[in-house]
């Protein structure tokens, strides 16, 4: 691609592609992702009501899918991580988070919407803060304040390294864990959306704006890649929702674990 093609008005996707203020401007603006988040809550609530209103012994398709998702989170995530004695109390939290994250991620490839809500960091941070509060509160309730902090250090360590390891664990519990949990979700959504934008915006530009038959034809390749990566994103959307609740469950599990 010659430089003048780029210079003649193509603006590649950038962080500003994620800024969609609807009402107001600046820090207090009501943005499109906010509406998407609210819409997702309504959508999930409505769907949950519809599929559970007429439960039958032989499930219809809606009930089948709902039960599949519920069983997946309940057994595959909560029970496997927390053990069959403790897990039931945390299933509502984990299921809610999974549905919220997965639905909002799916918005990234739903036509017309086409925006994964969690590609704005604030949303990822908010759901992470809920987990953060839960695993600390649950751990402190279970072991008491002193016991909770004592329990962070694995038992049987040489006395000399205990303070150092304690500092490390403290940083892990209070900074690294929430940071990695929220950044992983945010960055995956952000990068995935950028990738799709590159292929589709770039392809459109190559087809419509750029002059030169070769470039117009080459846009087909960009669109094909865009379609391939849309399927790929679907996988990522699910995987990130799954990993998020799996890690949430494991953080709660380490907070209430008896040993070390």
Residue ranges that bind other proteins, judged by CB under 8 A: 55, 57-59, 64, 67-68, 71-72, 74-77, 79-86, 154, 157, 161, 164-165, 167-169, 171-172, 175-177, 180, 239, 242-243, 246-247, 249-250, 253, 257, 259-260
Taking the complex as a whole, how short is the minimal distance between the CB of residue 198 and other proteins, in angstroms? Answer: 27
- Residue number, 28 or 155, with CB nearest to other proteins: 155
Taking the complex as a whole, how short is the minimal distance between the CB of residue 105 and other proteins, in angstroms? Answer: 16
- Residue number, 4 or 85, with CB nearest to other proteins: 85
> Do the beta carbons of residue 119 and residue 232 sit within 8 Å?
no
Taking the complex as a whole, how short is the minimal distance between the CB of residue 109 and other proteins, in angstroms? Answer: 20
- Residue number, 160 or 208, with CB nearest to other proteins: 160
What is the spatial distance between Cα 7 and Cα 205, in angstroms, rounded to a whole number? 12
How many residues are recorded in the chain? Answer: 260
51 token code pair: 């599929």
- Provide the CB-side half-sphere exposure for 185 (13 A, CA): 33
- Residue number, 72 or 121, with CB nearest to other proteins: 72
Taking the complex as a whole, how short is the minimal distance between the CB of residue 229 and other proteins, in angstroms? Answer: 20
- Residue number, 133 or 157, with CB nearest to other proteins: 157
Compute, in degrees rounded to 10, the torsion defined by CA atoms 241, 245, 250, 255: 140
Taking the complex as a whole, how short is the minimal distance between the CB of residue 30 and other proteins, in angstroms? Answer: 34
- Residue whose entry in the numeric block shows the structure tokens 């094909």: 224
What is the spatial distance between Cα 206 and Cα 43, in angstroms, rounded to a whole number? 37
What is the spatial distance between Cα 174 and Cα 137, in angstroms, rounded to a whole number? 13
> Do the beta carbons of residue 149 and residue 136 sit within 8 Å?
no
Under DSSP, the state recorded for 8 is T
């Amino acid at each position: 691609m010659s430089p003048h093609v780029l210079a003649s008005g193509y603006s590649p996707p950038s962080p500003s592609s994620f800024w969609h203020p609807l009402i107001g401007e600046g820090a207090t603006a009501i943005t499109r992702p906010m509406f998407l988040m609210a819409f997702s809550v309504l959508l999930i609530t409505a769907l949950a009501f519809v599929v559970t209103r007429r439960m039958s012994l032989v499930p219809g398709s809606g009930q089948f899918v709902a039960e599949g998702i519920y069983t997946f989170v309940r057994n595959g995530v909560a029970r496997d991580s927390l053990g069959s004695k403790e897990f039931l109390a945390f299933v509502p939290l984990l299921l809610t988070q999974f549905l919220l994250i997965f639905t909002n991620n799916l918005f990234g490839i739903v036509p017309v919407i086409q925006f994964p809500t969690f590609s704005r960091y604030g949303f990822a941070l908010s759901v992470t803060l809920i987990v953060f509060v839960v695993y600390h509160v649950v751990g402190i309730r279970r072991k008491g304040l002193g016991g909770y902090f004592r329990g962070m250090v694995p038992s049987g360590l040489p006395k000399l390294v205990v303070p150092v390891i304690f500092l490390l664990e403290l940083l892990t519990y209070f900074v690294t864990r929430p940071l990695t949990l929220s950044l992983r979700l945010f960055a995956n959504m952000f990068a995935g959306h950028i990738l799709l934008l590159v292929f589709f915006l770039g392809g459109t530009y190559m087809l419509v704006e750029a002059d030169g038959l070769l470039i117009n034809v080459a846009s087909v390749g960009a669109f094909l890649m865009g379609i391939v990566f849309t399927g790929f994103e679907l996988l990522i959307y699910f995987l990130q929702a799954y990993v998020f609740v799996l890690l949430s469950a494991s953080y709660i599990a380490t907070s209430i674990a008896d040993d070390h």
